[in-house]
Amino acid sequence: MAGGVWGRGRDGPVGSLTLTALAEGIRASQGQPVGPSSTGPQAEPEELGPEAEPYIQTLTPASEAQPGNEVVAPTASSEIGSPPNVQEPAPERPYQVSQYSWEEGTLADLALYTAACLEEAGYAGTQATALTLSSALEARGQRLEDQVHDLVRGLLAQVPSLAEGRPRRAALRVLSALALEHAQDVVCALLPSSLPPDRAASELWRSLSRNQRVNGQVLVQLLWALKGAAGPESEALAATRALGEMLAVSGCVGATRGFYPHLLLALVTQLHDLAQGAHSPDSPKVWEPSHRGPPHSHASCTVEALKALLTGDGGRMVVTCMEQAGGWRRLVGAHTHLEGVLLLASAMVAHADHHLRGLFADLLPRLRSANNSQRLTAMAFFTGLLQSQPTAQLLREEVILERLRTWQGDPEPTVRWLGLLGLGHLAMNRGKIRHVNTLLPVLLRALGEGDVRLVGAALGALRRILLQPGAPVRLLSSELRPRLPPLLDDARDSVRASAVGLLGTLVRRGQRGLRLGLRGPLRKLVLQSLVPLLLRLHDSSQDAAESSEWTLVRCDRALRWGLLEEMVTVAHYDSPEALSRVCHRLVHRYPSHVQHFLSQTQGYLRSPQDTLRRAATVLIGFLAYHTSPKGVSQDLLDSLFQDLGQLQGDPESAVSSAAHVSAQQVALLARAQVQTRSSNLFRFIRHRHRSYPTRPHPLYDDSPFLRRSLAGRWSCLEPR
């Protein structure tokens, strides 16, 4: 019997329904003469599957199934809502194939009736209905526009109660048959159940994804819903979750051919909207504890959909690169989203270049979008894709250059920042520097911006220019001399580190000229930056300290100071003896710059960083010890002595004790300077040898601050 085939019903007798019986029942309920079914002979067992044969034989005996005999509508249980008044067909009317019941009215009634069965029928009756309707819809699905929503709601209500295997597959065939002709209506009917998430809706989305005949159409409809063209914001969020379900099914991404770039940009733009808090749906952001498996927020669901889209198309390395660089975390951040977009574009340039042309073409109209999220996301992608030379060649360079220069006049700092990054990529995407006359003024002007992103982008672009063959070292040395030193003491850690690194790169590229005594502007820039570099070895920013060490090593090599060991020792162990040897070499190599060195160091005595105040105090003591009395003005010595006296009351004991020692060195230097003003040189020499022997070497206590040793830098275990 049917119960053995479809599973035992839970609420009474097994409901029974075939396409022929349904059609006859509908006609009888409308008061029409009951005649042969329009579907032709009753469905053969093979059409419904071999398992249905006992069930059909139970409904229609063999004697009634023969041509020429009347067909009696079965008396179905009230459980499936069969019509109560069924007329007997005329016995003299021969059984014949007719198309009458395929007219619009009858088929619409068939859909309504079946939807009612799906919502109200019992367990087994629903299974039989699903299988029967599946066969009907595959043949005549195009007539059911108005009834799709009812059918989908019925499936959502009954699918969870169906047994695994053929019963559930038969019900899911109904959905696929509907989506084949009515994809938009099916998507609209399913979306409300996707937000908040529903397990039955998730299963229906996955079933559509597995059907190669309909998944492409459904994905297109979800794309339009995601873009917000078909409904409110909540519909876009529901579409995002539906896309996540579908794209997670293996093989579904292949259906996105033709609109893959469009879908990728829509998902990334959706992340921008979510990051900015543009959506405020009524549904909770966090899933209930009873739900297992799905992501815990709309943003993470969108990220998972984006990962599935990339992975399914062979972009697994893109996903890996994003994870290693923290790109996914940046994509969902309110202030880091565009950085994540830039990382994604760079990863695609490196590992998924087969989609770059399509992406670039889809980006161009979005660059002038009135929607801020779309426009900024498109700008970030456009900027990142300029790293690909074949992609950048899709437009004439003059057009791209003019667009990027226009961005520099935008009042929004973010747009100017993206324009700077784009100019840097465009100037060097062929391995050589181009458009220097256009690029350099823009980059140098950006060094004075207040936004840290703009300054960082300009410094990074200038460094990349210096790394290219034929870099204009002399020109940059002259232009950077008034602009770079203030950035070495910038309050922003990243700016200090980048500025110091740029100076090191400039010295490295001009090394040959410095050794030959040339590069006048660069030599002046190095000497002007020497004191900040020495003091920044003790910077609280690890990046700035390491960058200072690297730059000092470049300077030592280019100018042949022979202080490599001392530089490294000062950097990692804060050794007073090594710093003394450095000061001795610099004072004797550049005696005319000693006063400038002392004046620069004096400015750091008021630094908010304890490490810098102590380092400046110690540096003044050693410079005063090694310098000649003739090399420093009395006014400067008086000013130094006064500032060091104030530091002796510093709350940090290491600073106050160092200030006491350095103040003694300044006082001794001042006394020696007074003696040099004697009119009688002989009396000065005799008096000096009698009263002022060699000044005592300053002795400083070990620094209490954490030493940046290699063991600490690499998290090694220090010896006990």
Entry field: residues in the chain: 720
* Residue 672 lies inside a defined structural domain of this protein: yes
Residue 570 — left, alpha, or beta (φ > 0 → left; ψ -120 to 50 → alpha)?
alpha
Domains in the chain, number: 2
The residue-averaged pLDDT of 626-648 equals: 93
* Residue 621 lies inside a defined structural domain of this protein: yes
- Which range, 123-127, 486-490, 699-703, is most confident? 486-490
CB contact at 8 A, 312 and 260 = no
Residue 620 has a pLDDT of: 97
Residue 295 has a pLDDT of: 42
Query: Which residue in 203, 213, 296, 216 sits closest to 242, CA to CA?
Result: 203
Over residues 335-390, the pLDDT tens digits come to 999 999 999 999 999 998 888 899 999 999 999 999 898 999 999 999 999 988 88
pLDDT at position 257 over 50: yes
Per the listing, tokens 């339009």 go with: 224
The residues, any chain, with a CB within 8 Å of residue 509's CB and separated by 6 or more, are 466, 467, 471, 473
CA-based radius of gyration for the chain = 41
Residue 340 has a pLDDT of: 96
Instruction: Tell me the H-state helices in 297-336.
Output: 298-312, 316-325, 327-331
The residue-averaged pLDDT of 264-283 equals: 75
Residue 381 has a pLDDT of: 95
pLDDT at position 85 over 50: no
Residue 66 has a pLDDT of: 39
pLDDT-derived band at 84, boundaries 50, 70, 90: very low
Residue 401 has a pLDDT of: 87
| pLDDT, the chain, mean | 76
CB contact at 8 A, 625 and 636 = no
Q: Rounded CA gap, 546 and 264, in Å?
A: 39
pLDDT-derived band at 627, boundaries 50, 70, 90: very high
Residue 459 has a pLDDT of: 94
Stronger pLDDT, 381 or 395, i.e. the higher one: 381
Q: In the listed set 221, 249, 277, which residue is the last one of a domain according to the structure?
A: 249
By mean pLDDT, which of 119-133, 395-409, 516-530 is the weakest? 119-133
What residues make up the domain containing 172?
Answer: 104-249
pLDDT at position 488 over 90: yes
The residues, any chain, with a CB within 8 Å of residue 335's CB and separated by 6 or more, are none
Residue 558 has a pLDDT of: 92
pLDDT at position 689 over 70: no
pLDDT at position 265 over 50: yes
Query: Which residue in 90, 27, 16 sits closest to 57, CA to CA?
Result: 16
Looking from the CA of 296 toward its CB, the CA atoms found within 13 Å total 2
Residue 288 has a pLDDT of: 35
pLDDT-derived band at 432, boundaries 50, 70, 90: low
Q: In the listed set 217, 249, 281, which residue is the last one of a domain according to the structure?
A: 249
pLDDT at position 509 over 50: yes
* Residue 197 lies inside a defined structural domain of this protein: yes
* Residue 210 lies inside a defined structural domain of this protein: yes
Residue 524 has a pLDDT of: 92
Residue 114 has a pLDDT of: 60
pLDDT at position 76 over 50: no
pLDDT at position 90 over 90: no
Q: Rounded CA gap, 407 and 392, in Å?
A: 17
DSSP 21-87: HHHHHHHHHTTPPP-S-TTSSPPPHHHH-GGGHHHHHHHS-HHHHSTTS--PPP---GGGT--S--P
Residue 334 has a pLDDT of: 87
Q: Phi and psi dihedrals of 562, rounded to 5?
A: 70, 35
pLDDT at position 600 over 50: yes
pLDDT at position 527 over 70: yes
Query: Which residue in 483, 575, 496 sits closest to 540, CA to CA?
Result: 496
Residue 429 has a pLDDT of: 66
By mean pLDDT, which of 65-69, 435-439, 608-612 is the weakest? 65-69
* 3 state SS of 633: coil
* Residue 347 lies inside a defined structural domain of this protein: no
Residue 193 has a pLDDT of: 84
By mean pLDDT, which of 292-296, 494-498, 648-652 is the weakest? 292-296
Residue 12 has a pLDDT of: 31
pLDDT at position 532 over 90: yes
* Residue 161 lies inside a defined structural domain of this protein: yes
pLDDT at position 489 over 70: yes
* Residue 303 lies inside a defined structural domain of this protein: no
pLDDT at position 308 over 60: yes
The residue-averaged pLDDT of 218-223 equals: 91
pLDDT-derived band at 183, boundaries 50, 70, 90: confident
* Residue 330 lies inside a defined structural domain of this protein: no
By mean pLDDT, which of 62-66, 561-565, 646-650 is the weakest? 62-66
Query: Which residue in 358, 357, 415, 363 sits closest to 389, CA to CA?
Result: 357
Print burial letters for 33-48: b (CB count within 10 Å at least 16), e (below 16). Answer: ebbbbbbeebbeeeeb
Q: In the listed set 198, 216, 249, which residue is the last one of a domain according to the structure?
A: 249
